């Protein structure tokens, strides 16, 4: 019911933002064939799910402000005894109204019948072209039908829904924050378990399997993205997903992994020594990344620029690299010429929510967006020094480190929802010693 009332509230907010004389069409994702007659596990489209909470395939939400027969219409699959015996229960049209709080539910197979009629009675269609390849064709067909049958060729304007909807998704409501805290908590517990169980001689995929097992056995339905378990120099590959190498004595292991709970992502990275103790060069680099991350988290404040955490991280990383002699010049030169990018080449933060790289504009009026309460972002600086890096002493080569936490922007300061996983050198070593 919490979900139903949250979705109802979001739909009402969106209806207000769209104004009158329009129709908004929000399809769920299409099922994707994996091979032959086997599909990938189905996951609803994030926009659709945000507004409905509905998780079955073949469904479309249609919003029609001011429509007397109902402003909120859900097209979904009808009950079907035979299909349900093979595939499991379907909500059906009656329960779609009672359980999901929509005004009207209509059969999915009648979509092509109803939509041209609804569209011919309006001047504006809100639909995000380019997101749903197959569905785009259907929408364009309806638009063509309407335009051909109306006297004016410009009778129907096509507008982006995402302008309104993604601005809403950027600010998480109480229901979303509660799920995200739990997703981070589950993922944090799984990360801790990996630190406990990691041993030289294990394969990266064994840690990946353990992470998935821990998350799913605590109720998460899926992973938010393919886990990155990167031992030794694999950690220098930012999106390493092969996860098939042996973890060797002396390696650092970078684990970037998070669960998906009720649609919401966690995204946590920890880097720890397989032996349970950091070597001196590993510790020196690690402490620079940790200091950068702490400086960045301190910048997650209401009214601060979303870019401030990145600037803070970059400054600390650059100072550290200069101190170790890994880059040369003055701090100003390094920051201006961005020579630190040789070892830190990605951004420090991204929005987090239903999508791991969540929606929401980073710039507003060509300026970095200001943070406001209820936004959620990651803070994830790193240093990556591949083998063979010219001019770098061998001690530093083959080390990749990233530390990533999930942070809610709050009036009283940053709330780090993934903080249960240790990240100070002493804390990690103490945990791994038990």
Decide: is 225 part of the binding site for ligand GLY (CB under 6 A).
Answer: yes
Of 102 and 308, the one with the shorter C-beta distance to Mn ion is: 308
Tell me how far, at minimum, the Cβ of 132 lies from ligand GLY, in Å. Answer: 24
Could you tell me the smallest distance in angstroms from the CB atom of residue 279 to Mn ion?
A: 24
Catalytic residue among 132, 182, 310, 402: 402
The three state secondary structure string of the chain is CHHHHHHHHHHHHHHHHHCCCEEEEEECCCCCEEECCEECCCCCCHHHHHHHCCCCCCCEEEECCCCCCCCEEEEECCCCHHHHHHHCCCCHHHHHHHHHCCCEEEEHHHHHHHHHHHHHCCCEEECCCCCCHHHHHHHHHHHHHHHHHCCCCCCCEEECCHHHHHHHHHCCCHHHHHHHHHHHHHHHHHHHHHHHHCCCCCEHHHHHHHHHHHHHHCCCCEECCCCEEEEHHHHHCCCCCCCCCECCCCCEEEEEECEEECCEECCEEEEEECCCCCCHHHHHHHHHHHHHHHHHHHCCCCCCECCHHHHHHHHHHHHHHHHCCCCCCCHHHHHHHCHHHHCCCCCCCCECCCCCCCCCCCEECCEECECCCCCEEEECCEEEECCCCCCCCHHHCCEEEECEEEEECCCCCCEECCCCCCCCHHHHHHHHHC
Is 405 noted as a catalytic residue in this protein?
no
- Which residues from 333-362 bind ligand GLY, rule CB under 6 A? 350, 356
Least distance in angstroms from the C-beta of 49 to ligand GLY: 20
**Is 404 tagged catalytic?**
yes
Catalytic residue among 185, 267, 358, 406: 267
The least CB distance from residue 381 to ligand GLY, in Å, is: 11
Binding status of residue 260 toward ligand GLY by CB under 6 A: no
Catalytic position from the list 90, 346, 370, 410:
346
- Residue 346 annotated among the catalytic residues of the structure: yes
Stretch that binds Mn ion, among 121-129, 190-198, 277-285, 373-381 (CB under 5 A): 373-381
Of 380, 405, 406, 429, which is the active-site residue? Answer: 380
Number of residues that bind Mn ion (CB under 5 A): 4
The one among 256, 260, 262, 406 contacting ligand GLY by CB under 6 A = 256
Catalytic residue among 204, 384, 405, 429: 384
- Pick the piece of the chain touching Mn ion (CB under 5 A) from 18-26, 74-82, 167-175, 265-273: 265-273
Cβ 258 to ligand GLY, closest distance in Å?
7
The reply on whether position 267 binds ligand GLY by CB under 6 A is yes
Per CB under 5 A, does 187 bind Mn ion? no
Enzyme catalytic residues: 37, 239, 256, 267, 346, 350, 357, 380, 384, 402, 404
Residue numbers at the binding site for ligand GLY (CB under 6 A): 225, 256, 267, 350, 356, 380, 404
């Amino acid at each position: 019911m919490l979900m139903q009332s949250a979705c109802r509230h979001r739909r009402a907010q969106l209806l207000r933002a769209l104004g009158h004389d329009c129709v908004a069409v929000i399809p769920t994702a299409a099922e994707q064939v994996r091979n032959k007659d086997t599909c990938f596990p189905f996951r609803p489209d994030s926009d659709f799910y945000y507004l409905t909470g509905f998780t079955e395939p073949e469904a479309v939400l249609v919003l029609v402000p001011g429509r007397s027969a109902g402003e909120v219409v859900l097209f979904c699959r009808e009950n079907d005894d035979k299909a349900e015996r093979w595939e499991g229960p379907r909500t059906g049209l009656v329960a779609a109204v009672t359980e999901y709080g929509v005004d009207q539910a209509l059969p999915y197979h009648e979509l092509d019948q109803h939509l041209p009629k609804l569209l011919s009675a309006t001047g504006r269609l809100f639909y995000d072209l380019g997101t749903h390849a197959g569905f785009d064709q259907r929408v364009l067909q309806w638009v063509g039908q309407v335009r051909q049958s109306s006297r004016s060729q410009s009778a129907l304007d096509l507008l982006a829904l995402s302008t309104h909807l993604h601005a809403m998704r950027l600010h998480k409501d109480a229901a979303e924050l509660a799920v995200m805290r739990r997703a981070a908590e589950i993922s944090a517990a799984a990360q801790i378990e990996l630190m406990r169980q990691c041993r030289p001689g294990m394969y990266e995929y064994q840690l990946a399997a353990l992470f998935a097992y821990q998350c799913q056995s605590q109720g998460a339905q899926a992973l938010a993205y393919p886990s990155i378990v990167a031992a030794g120099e694999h950690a220098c590959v930012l999106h390493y997903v092969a996860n098939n190498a042996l973890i060797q004595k002396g390696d650092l292991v970078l684990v970037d992994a998070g669960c998906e709970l009720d649609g919401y992502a966690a995204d946590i990275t920890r880097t720890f020594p397989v032996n349970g103790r950091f070597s001196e060069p590993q510790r020196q680099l690690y402490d620079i990344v940790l200091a950068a991350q702490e400086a960045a988290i301190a910048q997650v404040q209401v009214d601060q620029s979303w870019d401030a955490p990145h600037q803070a991280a970059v400054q600390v990383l650059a100072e550290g690299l200069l101190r170790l002699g890994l880059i040369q010049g003055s701090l100003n030169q390094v920051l201006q010429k961005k020579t630190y990018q040789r070892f830190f080449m990605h951004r420090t933060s991204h929005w987090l929510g239903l999508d791991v790289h969540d929606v929401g504009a980073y710039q507003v009026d060509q300026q970095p967006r200001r943070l406001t309460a209820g936004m959620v972002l990651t803070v994830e600086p790193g240093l990556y020094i591949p083998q063979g890096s010219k001019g770098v002493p061998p001690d530093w080569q083959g080390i990749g480190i990233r530390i990533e936490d999930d942070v809610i922007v709050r009036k009283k300061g940053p709330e780090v929802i993934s903080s249960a996983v240790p990240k100070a050198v002493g804390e990690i070593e103490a945990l791994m010693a038990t």
